[in-house]
Amino acid sequence: MQPKMDSEPAETQNNSRGLLDFELRRPFKDRWYFRMGQVALRLARLPDRMDLDEEEARKILDDLIVWWRCGEFAEDEVVVFVDGRFSSITPWLEEIENNHLWQDAVLLTRPAVKRYLEHSTLPSARRLLAEWFAGALSLTGDALGALAPMSSSAEAPASKQEGLPEKAAHSKSRKTRRDEKRPAIAKAVASLDGLEVWEQSSDKERCELVERQLEKPSGWCTLRTLRRAIADRDGVSTK
């Protein structure tokens, strides 16, 4: 979905579309976003055949929409790609409805698709779970653990108990988490380096590419950590 963006330079528009194309060209087992219509079509494939039951696909698409309307999907699990980023469909709902864009413009996140398949009784659901999610990273472990807030229990922080400066202790904790991310980010950069979309992207857009490559949530990769990871990989000091 690309609403009117006449004020945006053509180069920026093309680069933004490149980010979406990059995501949707990835193998299904590596994607974070899936077109809603594509999920419906894959589920509607006839058993032991490559043929699709188009009427069944329409019914599945309607069921996915019902899931969203009933709150089975979270607000950030059903999105559109607008102005170079994945955004909630809520501001665009009228345009989606009026132009029948549910099939091609609306995207589901990986956790949303997995949950829908797990609850589906359709024969193809088990197969798609095995093809798309077998051996996938834990979506509630590695992917979300980096964003887990620090404990807010009534117990005093260790720095206070031991008489250490609290700020210094927190800084060390944050540094440890950044240092743990950098090798993974450097590995992702090595995979993406050389792709046209990578070369044309800003550092902020590169962070988004890294997050999708590693199946991490938005905001996991910061500009500072990305630049340090690239410097570590290239052997350049950032000090």
Q: Are 166 and 157 in contact (CB under 8 A)?
A: yes
117, pLDDT greater than 60: yes
> For residues 44 and 124, what is the distance between their CA atoms, to the nearest angstrom?
7
33, pLDDT greater than 50: yes
Q: According to the per-residue pLDDT averaged within each range, which of 79-83, 131-135, 153-157, 234-238 is highest?
A: 79-83
142, pLDDT greater than 70: no
Residue of higher predicted confidence among 135 and 86: 86
Residue of higher predicted confidence among 171 and 52: 52
- Residue identified by tokens 């990871």 is 229
Q: According to the per-residue pLDDT averaged within each range, which of 41-45, 131-135, 182-186 is highest?
A: 41-45
